[in-house]
Structure 1
């Protein structure tokens, strides 16, 4: 176990910006790409990941003080500290059995490929921690209600295995939509955050029945055409940032500075995202040719992290516009269980891609659906806060650095909160969790059928 732990930790130590490009370089060479082409594509991919992380950290760092200022101004006490995904990842990997999730992901993917249950080869192994996070939360909930430790460990890995399977299935389902959004064939996003499409689907279907919304596709281009300069990404970012800064700081200098920072991020996000298309297009072509030669009638889809869809203007516009609503919901929900104010997760990158996949980039739908489901993220992360805090104290005390003795930790926009809460509570024997999981799985099946219908329509459009 120690050897496996050291190997996995060494690999993960490279980070996504090195690990994923390295895997893509190997795949490119296997598929007979010239080394120079494969290396350049892999390097560009690494630059894309690094640039995206720099911008997200820049945006979060700019807005977090404003959110803290709002909390001070309102006087509302929200005792859980939003530490974001890095702390949760550290807690998950510090769990003694955590390294077993790495081979589990690979084995399940291979079995499903061999059995033709998926066409997705998930090379985003760095994000194995998202499965492990579900595993650890389920384990702790099971232990907390009296399950023997061994049984709790098994149930934790059952939860992780189910998530792995579901991610591969949704990766298959959304691939044509990913291709339409990015222009890159043969890639998809088998990521935990995409599972929340199941939660959003009912609201999408309801909005489809509203002619004023469904028949008027309001996207970023429409905004630019109709409202001119105010539809530009940088201008919208500047306005939202300035207004938020004015309310939080009551200082024109700080408000305008935040406006410029938000406008900068909004302008650069799509620019950096183009690097993913530039990097992945040649590798995707090589993989497609390789598979056609060796597997007649079989299509292999490369599974990657969510930033490959980040070139969509609508993605960033919706996430910026949702920031004020996240803060409002945090205050409104405080009396009914919310204990966290969004800081590290204030730019909800776990929700935006789902909204994009289902709405097709209709900003009105994305905003309405985002407002509706944001409370799920806040309340689920709040419910997990006591368990995550105890897990941190037990396995990863460094995650509590800078957190007060009486404070809890969580991630305000914890990815796939609907699935995680349902599976963890169901496997730990809570009746509400069992009901929620049954409902969620029914929604997931409905979602797969919906995407199957959409994919057939997309295919017909392409052939017309």
Structure 2
């Protein structure tokens, strides 16, 4: 009965159940019911608007990507399914349903004992730690190992959210909010040290390629509308479109780059009162602990630097997939979702598009190799829950090649339960060090 209730709730879709969660959270932190209701509905509307814009980007770019693949005779043995089926895959399994109540309990416990400052309300993206659990199950053949790996992966998500919160909050102007979207925050592990290195390269460290500086230096050519139009036209030309279709693609991409920030503004409008009320509540009832609301990377994909980097990375990723020896995955399904994959990476480079594209290319190389290596395990994970994706042979997707996914899969394959528990202990140890010893991003003044 309980499982059926959770399944029914998840089946409502993220545009419904996340606003409900936000409404309930608002009531818990003593926000006026009318304000909590408006916040929840506004967030739902924002998700619908964002989904419409991302769907428009997908429908505009997918045919062009397919033509580019055909035109340049790109043929690799593993097709990129895209991460889109990840959510339905996770929540069609008992692991996904199980993680919802487990994550709530674990999250509240970790906040209480001071091992995290993130309160995750992004229930839909629990599919990502669930997917890691499925990979562990597929690699080890042991369901219990999968449960342990899944919970450890959720804790890793909270750790990364805590570590990236100061950076994302400042750059995207999201006070009281952290990003708990594993696909987005995983890149920070590479991007932060890489940005440190870029800062120490003479000459290169002076190049400021943020949209604001580009617009200031190049005038109208730096406007997101013009940047989007140029990128769309370039992709149309690479795809071999005629003049009419090329110009139409340019306008569509320009529209996406212009509309995305408008949708993200709705997220800010809805979450600001919730974040303020949460901080006031925790100051009063949780001994002054800092608690940030963990949300989807959808909040940040509308930034001009993120959108521009994501579009630029489409042809670059296709090129890399062909020239890299040993890569067998042909990027397709994930290309139009790069706004999520590179969101926090762009933040780490402070919106510098040149750094973001270089860093994105460097980050993509191991993703392609790991996605290739993980393909048999990814295929097996789909088979475990009888999820039909059609066709035969191996399946994978570019963002399946995240280091988080690969780490747990390798541990399950090579060291079994010892490796998984070791990873879990290391993650908890880092959470303790970051939040209790280092007091990272902390203004707590706890009282006895």
TM-score (norm 1): 0.85
How far is 1:241 from its partner? 1.3
Answer yes or no: is 1:418 the counterpart of 2:408.
no
Partner Cα distance (2:41, 2:136) in 1: 37
Match of 2:357 among 364, 367, 388: 367
- Return 5+ residue gaps in structure 2 as ranges: 444-448
TM-score (norm 2): 0.88
Match of 2:273 among 264, 282, 299: 282
Partner of 1:320: 311
Contact 2:95–2:130, Cα closer than 8 Å, also in 1: no
Secondary structure (helix, strand or coil) at the match of 1:336 reads coil
Partner of 1:345: 335
How far is 1:337 from its partner? 2.5
How far is 1:353 from its partner? 1.9
Secondary structure (helix, strand or coil) at the match of 2:114 reads coil
Contact 1:64–1:344, Cα closer than 8 Å, also in 2: no
Partner of 1:53: 51
How far is 1:445 from its partner? 6.3
Partner Cα distance (2:289, 2:134) in 1: 36
Contact 1:342–1:413, Cα closer than 8 Å, also in 2: no
Partner Cα distance (1:453, 1:211) in 2: 32
Answer yes or no: is 1:80 the counterpart of 2:66.
no
Answer yes or no: is 1:174 the counterpart of 2:159.
no
Match of 1:108 among 100, 106, 109: 106
Q: CA RMSD in A?
A: 2.8
Contact 2:327–2:368, Cα closer than 8 Å, also in 1: no
Partner Cα distance (2:314, 2:10) in 1: 31
Partner Cα distance (2:179, 2:75) in 1: 37
Partner of 1:146: none
Shift in CA distance, 178/200, structure 1 to aligned 2, threshold 3 Å: closer
Partner of 2:126: 128
Partner of 2:446: none
Contact 1:118–1:169, Cα closer than 8 Å, also in 2: yes
Match of 1:159 among 145, 149, 157: 149
* 1:401-440 alignment, distance < 5 Å: 404=391, 406-414=392-400, 417-429=402-414
* 1:63-102 alignment, distance < 5 Å: 63-102=61-100
How far is 1:154 from its partner? 2.0
Partner of 2:344: 354
Shift in CA distance, 383/246, structure 1 to aligned 2, threshold 3 Å: same
Structure 1 runs (4+) deviating above 6 angstroms are 452-456
- Return 5+ residue gaps in structure 1 as ranges: 144-151, 460-464
Match of 2:372 among 379, 382, 385: 382
CA displacement 1:76-108 (0-9 Å, x = unmatched)? 322333332232222333334442222221222
Match of 1:254 among 224, 245, 248: 245
Partner Cα distance (2:131, 2:201) in 1: 38
Match of 1:186 among 176, 179, 192: 176
How far is 1:157 from its partner? 2.0
Contact 1:82–1:345, Cα closer than 8 Å, also in 2: no
Partner Cα distance (2:99, 2:236) in 1: 42
Answer yes or no: is 1:308 the counterpart of 2:306.
no
Partner of 1:294: 285
Secondary structure (helix, strand or coil) at the match of 2:336 reads coil
Aligned residues: 433
Partner of 2:231: 240
